[in-house]
Structure 1
Amino acid sequence: MSETGGPAWDVYSATKGHRRQTNSRGETTWFNWTQYADHGPGAELLCLKPGEAALDLGCGAGGNAAHLATLGVRVVGVDLSSGQLRKARDRWTDVPGMELHQGDALDQLAETYTSFHAVYSVFGAAWFCDPHLMLPAVHAGLRPGGVFAMSQRPPVEGCYGCQASYIPRGPDEDPAIVKRWDHEPDTWSALLKEYGFNDVTAVVLPAPEDDKRTMGTLLIRAVRGSE
């Protein structure tokens, strides 16, 4: 398995509520890259057209995938957590065009015959996979000119590479532990170019000015080069 901590993500799922019924604009589906509500860019970063195919690595409860499906995109979502996928199937049962799988993100990339127009990960599996495994797999799964985009928290200064995340289980149990990969934007840019991506951007979006939290969001986007 390429991702880490399958059972840990069911623990995480139990701590997460459902996505709001509507956002601040009154929309019932929307795309959100950051940890803040109604903040940052949307699905336009993926440059998808109706009928095209996208892969969501770590789709969680399916909110972003559902939004793309309402735009006519054929979306495949994969997640390790059965709890998160249960939420997705319960909430978006009437949304056509979504295909959900429980499993490892890199296994999904290796086993699919689909060539995707976009692959994305929002605080998802791409953060929790070794980029030296994940980036070539994503490159192979994308059509030439296809978009790869991912978001995650920026690294803590001086804490780069493989790090540990701790997911609380409760007062009487040790936390669940998963690995994540933290790099500075310049390092992500270099890695993406090394594995055949062009038009790379890696920036930290600042937190909303009216929020008490101050941590930004690392947003990475790149285009698969032609052979």
Structure 2
Amino acid sequence: MSLAESWDRYAVGSKPRRAVNANGETTWLNWTQYADHGPNESVLGPVAGRRVLELGSGSGSNLAHLVTLGATGRGVDIAPARETVARECWGHLPGLEFRTAEATTFLSETDETFDVVLSIFGAVWFVGPDTLLSLIRSRMAPGGILAFSHLPPGSQGPKAAEAGLRHDRTPDEWKRILTGHGFSDVRVSLIEPPEGKAVGTMLVRALAT
């Protein structure tokens, strides 16, 4: 089974996002694995008029929210089922496009540049950073923002780490790696989990120099 087929099978079994969150909003951005938890789009600064790329855009809900705030959005996901759902849910929004592609392939082939690149439990967690980050930087405008989130190192247990299923990095490792690939002002924070939960979320933000 190919990587795309594996992710497509996972996507087909995923539950749809709620139509409305706890605040009564129909669109919102969520950085963590928990509903109605963690910071919002303010991590990215003002997004109106900015070109945003999401790597691992899933059902498109996070990117759609940024487009409702005035951004232009391009979502890329390796699973064809994700593009289908995203288009059904958000295809009516102007300035928003979705594409099925592997992240490095898309970045290698596109001639677009972006002001913001985000990955929420997405490609940055699953693709080798020495390959992916250099490609991301090559498609970013100077001063652009890269932001991504994933589970903290070790939270998946030793078997996942040994199998190389995800690219867990400590805060110091991310700072070193990102700086080495043309990013600056790297900020890494751990979002504490909600009450009753044990695992938080790592959030990383950096500027394209």
1:180 to 166, 170, 181: 166
1:51 to 49, 52, 56: 49
In structure 2, C-alpha distance between the alignment counterparts of 1:164 and 1:75, rounded to whole Å: 33
Going from structure 1 to structure 2, the CA distance change for 1:163 and 1:52 (only over 3 Å counts) comes to: farther
Going from structure 1 to structure 2, the CA distance change for 1:8 and 1:33 (only over 3 Å counts) comes to: same
1:32 to 30, 33, 43: 30
Gaps of 5+ in 1: 166-178
In structure 2, C-alpha distance between the alignment counterparts of 1:111 and 1:163, rounded to whole Å: 32
Instruction: For 1:1-227, list aligned pairs within 5 A.
Output: 5-156=3-154, 159=158, 163-164=162-163, 179-209=165-195, 212-225=196-209
SS at match of 2:52: strand
Gaps of 5+ in 2: none
Shift of 1:213: 2.2
Q: Is the 8 A contact 1:159 1:182 kept in 2?
A: no
Shift of 1:47: 2.0
SS at match of 1:66: helix
SS at match of 1:119: strand
In structure 1, C-alpha distance between the alignment counterparts of 2:158 and 2:134, rounded to whole Å: 24
Shift of 1:164: 3.6
Residues 155-213 of structure 1 deviation map (CA, whole Å, 9 limit, x = unaligned): 11785996548xxxxxxxxxxxxx3211111111110111121110112211012xx32
SS at match of 2:28: coil
Shift of 1:15: 2.1
Shift of 1:102: 0.3
Relative contact order (C-alpha < 8 Å, sep 6+): which is higher? 1
Q: Which has the higher strand share?
A: 1
SS at match of 2:131: helix
In structure 2, C-alpha distance between the alignment counterparts of 1:160 and 1:190, rounded to whole Å: 25
SS at match of 1:99: strand
Q: Which amino acid aligns with 1:198?
A: S
User: Could you tell me the TM-score, scaled by structure 1's length?
Assistant: 0.86
Identity %: 41
Residues 133-173 of structure 1 deviation map (CA, whole Å, 9 limit, x = unaligned): 011111111111000010011111785996548xxxxxxxx
Q: Is the 8 A contact 1:163 1:181 kept in 2?
A: no
User: Could you tell me the TM-score, scaled by structure 2's length?
Assistant: 0.93
In structure 2, C-alpha distance between the alignment counterparts of 1:164 and 1:14, rounded to whole Å: 24
Residues 48-86 of structure 1 deviation map (CA, whole Å, 9 limit, x = unaligned): 432210100000010001101111111000001111111
In structure 2, C-alpha distance between the alignment counterparts of 1:114 and 1:10, rounded to whole Å: 26
